[in-house]
């Protein structure tokens, strides 16, 4: 067996060289595809987590809205109670004035004895 001429070896090397380049490109494309698949899988996980967080936030928002409705009702009740309290103060003042009138009549005509002694009245806040 004789050694092939150097020109023949060079020709074989030139012919095989592009195959190596194409294999390298193919390997890089495969690696890139695998990387894209991993990124796609991770994005799927992130999307699922974002959906879960969105559900939690929706639940919290619903709870906050319900709390706001309760607070609005309480504010309305508080306003109603303030009006009632003002009416009760006016009635209390009117009754105190009426009691004073009865005491004045009782003092003017001692024989009638209509007035009970006035109880100690709590201070008005």
Residue 66 lies inside a defined structural domain of this protein? yes
Residue 37 lies inside a defined structural domain of this protein? yes
Instruction: Give the residue from 78, 83, 80, 92 showing the smallest Cα distance to 124.
Output: 92
Q: Which structural domain range is residue 7 located in? A: 1-83
Residue 108 lies inside a defined structural domain of this protein? no
Counted domains in the chain: 1
Residue 91 lies inside a defined structural domain of this protein? no
Per-residue pLDDT band at 117 (split at 50, 70, 90)? low
Residue 102 lies inside a defined structural domain of this protein? no
Q: What is the pLDDT at residue 26? A: 84
pTM above threshold 0.85: no
Residue 79 lies inside a defined structural domain of this protein? yes
Residue 25 lies inside a defined structural domain of this protein? yes
Torsion of CA 12, 13, 18, 21, to 10 degrees: 140
Residue 99 lies inside a defined structural domain of this protein? no
């Amino acid at each position: 067996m004789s050694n092939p001429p150097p020109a023949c070896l060079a020709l074989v090397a030139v012919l095989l060289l592009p195959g190596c380049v194409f294999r390298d490109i193919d390997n890089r494309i495969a690696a890139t595809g695998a990387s894209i698949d991993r990124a796609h899988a991770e994005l799927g996980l992130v999307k699922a987590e974002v959906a879960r967080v969105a559900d939690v936030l929706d639940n919290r928002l619903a709870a906050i809205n319900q709390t706001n409705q309760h607070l609005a009702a309480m504010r309305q009740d508080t306003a109603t109670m303030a009006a009632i309290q003002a009416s009760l103060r006016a009635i209390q003042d009117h009754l105190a004035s009426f009691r004073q009138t009865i005491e004045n009549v009782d003092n003017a005509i001692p024989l009638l004895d209509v007035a009970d002694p006035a109880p100690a009245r709590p201070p008005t806040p």
